[in-house]
């Protein structure tokens, strides 16, 4: 059994670690609330522009805009992978990496190219067999629309130059504080599922839908990237908050076990000292 002082040092070390995990949990909780508010504020706009673009796309010819035209042969696929820059957030990043590798296995006949958004995406996937077109590793858990637009414009450039035939975003979809799901979203060419609201809504466009579509499509792509990043950031802080809460709880259990061991060791030391005193006294009396 370890000595009393060794156990005492371990208890102190675990308590210090527990203080850090509790502080990180509080910081992540505050940041998550801000990120969740930003995501909720953007959701209404995201739903509306999604509905509007889908409605216009349904009323024009498929070849009226290059974003609507599927390539005859898909050879190169671009995956925009969104992870965090930092760790200590449970399975948040590994779920995205697993989803990416699963996508690659399911599409063995195509050449996979990556855009890594977040340091962890590049660390995990940058050294594998995939070609990395570009990387963004300095957001630090926050994003602006202008920064997201730079990424969206880059995706459009790759698609228009025919470097890639399809573009997908893989990120964590935020469902609740403790629950995020890795999701694959097709960005280009445009693929929108029809909803009852879209089918029953009839707009009068001025100018024509074809003209408006050319103006709105780039904004739609940029906002798709922006909203995906907002979801990912909210999920990151939520996942880190839960991970740090679990770590603090586990540290508490370790402290309780070490305290019990410490008490047993101290009691044993006291008993040995008493025995030494008794034996010494008997030796003097004898």
Kindly report the CATH number assigned to the domain that includes residue 187. Answer: 3.40.1380.10
109 vs 281, higher pLDDT: 109
In tens, the pLDDT along 130-159 reads 888 888 887 766 788 888 889 999 998 888
Q: Which of 12-21, 89-98, 184-193 has the lowest mean pLDDT?
A: 184-193
Select from 91, 85, 93, 88 the least CA-distant residue to 28: 88
> pLDDT value at position 174?
86
Q: Which of 33-37, 139-143, 253-257 has the lowest mean pLDDT?
A: 139-143
Question: Which strands make up the sheet holding 111-117, listed edge to edge?
Answer: 131-136, 111-117, 76-82, 166-176, 179-188
> pLDDT value at position 15?
92
Cα–Cα distance measured from residue 66 to residue 184, given in angstroms and rounded to the nearest whole number: 22
- The number of folded domains in the chain is 1
Q: What is the DSSP pairing of strand 166-176 with strand 131-136?
A: unpaired
pTM here is 0.82
- 32 CB contacts (<8 Å, ≥6 apart)? 177, 234, 237, 238, 241
- 126 CB contacts (<8 Å, ≥6 apart)? 114, 116, 132, 135
Find the mean pLDDT for residues 117-124: 87
Residue 208's domain comprises: 39-239
- CA terminus-to-terminus distance, the chain: 34
Q: Is the dihedral of CA 247, 248, 253, 256 positive or negative?
A: positive
Evaluate if residue 168 carries a pLDDT over 90. yes
Evaluate if residue 198 carries a pLDDT over 80. no
For residue 258, is it within any domain?
no
For residue 120, is it within any domain?
yes
In tens, the pLDDT along 49-91 reads 888 787 777 777 767 677 887 888 888 999 999 998 888 888 8
Cα–Cα distance measured from residue 259 to residue 261, given in angstroms and rounded to the nearest whole number: 5
According to the per-residue pLDDT averaged within each range, which of 52-56, 114-118, 191-195, 282-286 is highest?
114-118
Evaluate if residue 202 carries a pLDDT over 70. no
Cα–Cα distance measured from residue 91 to residue 98, given in angstroms and rounded to the nearest whole number: 10
For residue 44, is it within any domain?
yes
Mean pLDDT, rounded, of the chain: 83
Find the mean pLDDT for residues 25-38: 88
Confidence of residue 205 (pLDDT cuts 50, 70, 90): low
Q: What are phi and psi of 55, to 5 degrees?
A: -65, -45
Evaluate if residue 40 carries a pLDDT over 60. yes
Evaluate if residue 19 carries a pLDDT over 80. yes
Cα–Cα distance measured from residue 217 to residue 43, given in angstroms and rounded to the nearest whole number: 18
Structural contact between residues 198 and 49, judged by C-beta atoms closer than 8 angstroms: no
Confidence of residue 197 (pLDDT cuts 50, 70, 90): very low
Evaluate if residue 203 carries a pLDDT over 70. no
Q: Is the dihedral of CA 187, 193, 196, 199 positive or negative?
A: positive
Find the mean pLDDT for residues 29-55: 84
For residue 174, is it within any domain?
yes
Confidence of residue 171 (pLDDT cuts 50, 70, 90): very high
For residue 283, is it within any domain?
no
For residue 64, is it within any domain?
yes
For residue 178, is it within any domain?
yes
For residue 286, is it within any domain?
no
Structural contact between residues 258 and 14, judged by C-beta atoms closer than 8 angstroms: yes
In tens, the pLDDT along 215-250 reads 788 888 889 999 999 999 988 998 889 999 999 999
């Amino acid at each position: 059994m370890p000595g009393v002082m060794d156990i005492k040092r371990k208890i102190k070390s675990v308590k210090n670690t527990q203080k850090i995990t509790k502080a990180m949990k509080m910081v992540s909780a505050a940041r998550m609330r801000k990120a969740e508010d930003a995501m909720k504020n953007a959701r209404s706009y995201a739903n509306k522009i999604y509905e509007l673009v889908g409605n216009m796309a349904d009323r024009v010819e498929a070849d009226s805009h290059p974003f609507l035209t599927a390539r005859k042969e898909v050879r190169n696929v671009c995956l925009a992978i969104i992870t965090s820059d930092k760790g200590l957030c449970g399975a948040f990043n590994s779920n995205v990496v697993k989803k990416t590798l699963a996508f690659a296995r399911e599409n063995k006949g195509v050449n996979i190219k990556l855009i890594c958004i977040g340091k962890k995406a590049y660390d995990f996937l940058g050294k594998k067999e995939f070609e990395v077109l570009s990387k963004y590793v300095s957001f630090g858990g926050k994003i602006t629309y202008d920064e997201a637009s730079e990424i969206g414009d880059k995706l459009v450039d790759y698609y228009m130059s025919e470097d890639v035939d399809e573009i997908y975003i893989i990120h964590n979809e935020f469902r609740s504080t403790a629950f995020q799901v890795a999701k694959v979203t097709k960005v280009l060419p445009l693929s929108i599922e029809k909803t009852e609201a879209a089918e029953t809504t009839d707009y009068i466009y001025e100018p024509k839908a074809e003209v408006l579509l050319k103006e709105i499509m780039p904004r739609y792509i940029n906002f798709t990237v922006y909203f995906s990043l907002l979801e990912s950031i909210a999920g990151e802080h939520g996942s880190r908050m839960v991970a740090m809460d679990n770590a603090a709880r586990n540290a508490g259990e370790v402290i309780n076990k070490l305290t019990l061991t410490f008490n047993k060791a101290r009691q044993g030391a006291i008993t040995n000292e008493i025995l030494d005193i008794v034996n010494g006294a008997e030796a003097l009396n004898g």
